[in-house]
Amino acid sequence: MNTPSLEDLDREIARLATLLTERDQLMPRRTTLQAAITKADAELASLTRLAGRATATGPARLLASLRGGRADAAAAGVRLPAAREELAALRAQLDDLGARLDEARSTPSAYAAALAAKEKHLRDTGHPTGERLSELAGLRGDLVAELARLQRAEIAAGKAAEGFRRADELLGSAGKWSAYDTFMGGGAFSSHVKHQRVESADDYVAAAQHQVDVMRHELGDDREAAPISLEINGTTKFLDVMFDNIFTDLAVRSRINRGQKEIVEAFLRVREVRAALTARTAEVRTRLREIETERDGLLVNPSGP
């Protein structure tokens, strides 16, 4: 099999570009035809009903006469054949257009393949344009890899933010139970509920911190972050639940307040990082589009020797 020349590739790209333009023009035309057929179909149905009055007998004929509808029925009968022909013509146009679109279905992939073949030819033969194409390919590869990392980091940041948010909610609830326990003499039950909320919040914090680690790894920052721990000393917890004295109540309340402050700070930091990730993702996507536009410009235009 002979390798196509640069001129052959340019001709094929031009041919496929023409087909793509035609395809883009045909698609809205199909929508217009479909709307016209719907309208013509409704008109034909209306004309058929009107024309039927001209041949009506008995009470239906008398009613048509009283309404002055016989003239309309006669006019509809005259118009009916032309309406049928117009509808048939529109449907034929739609069928033809559909066939042409079916033929063009593979055009986008064929066009992309033709551009890739020309790019390979230019790079393999040492053509002056090939050097720039190689640079663009390298840039694109780096940006695609960065985009994948950014997307994974952004997903992890979202999960971390949600974990910190849920932990903050639970600690807020624990704080209310703690206030009740401290100042209203809540008792063992309120102490138990309070500690349940704290333990659940701790689970969410652990999961959120794991997602922060994932995010940092994707961004190339493998330094270990300072952990947030809501763990309450086992002896303090036991005394708080079993004996419910104000000293342990205050100790637990202080730990809840401190933990909630740390969680809010972590949530705000993650939110800032997530906003920066979103902005950088937009920049990378824009740069990728610019590279694709430059690449297409180099490949679509005929290349000299």
Which tokens sit at 114? 């033709």
Q: So what's the pLDDT on residue 223?
A: 56
Write the CB contacts of 228 (distance below 8 Å, at least 6 apart in sequence): 205, 209, 259, 262, 263, 266
Q: How far apart are CA 159 and CA 167, in angstroms?
A: 12
- Of 193, 184, 163, whose CA–CA distance to 256 is shortest? 193
Question: CA torsion 163→166→168→169, rounded to 10°?
Answer: 180
**Residue 3, helix vs strand vs coil:** coil
> Per the confidence metrics, is the pTM higher than 0.85?
no
Instruction: Please give the distance of CA 301 from its chain centroid, rounded to a whole number.
Output: 33
Q: So what's the pLDDT on residue 260?
A: 77
Stretches in the chain below the pLDDT threshold 50: 56, 58-68, 177, 179-185, 187-189, 226, 228-251
Burial 200-238 (b: 16+ CB within 10 A, else e): bbbebbebbbebbbbbbebbeeeeeeeebebebeeeebe
Q: So what's the pLDDT on residue 156?
A: 92
Write the CB contacts of 132 (distance below 8 Å, at least 6 apart in sequence): 298
Nearest-5° angle of CA 152, CA 153, CA 156?
Answer: 90
Where are the alpha helices (H) located in the chain, listed in sequence order? Answer: 6-54, 59-66, 70-103, 107-124, 128-183, 188-218, 234-242, 246-300
Side chain identity at 70, as an amino acid letter?
R
Q: How far apart are CA 80 and CA 72, in angstroms?
A: 12
- What end-to-end distance do the CA atoms of the chain give, in Å? 22
Q: So what's the pLDDT on residue 195?
A: 60
Instruction: Give the number of other CB atoms < 10 A from CB of residue 35.
Output: 10
Name the residue ranges covered by the structural domains of the chain: 6-125, 142-300
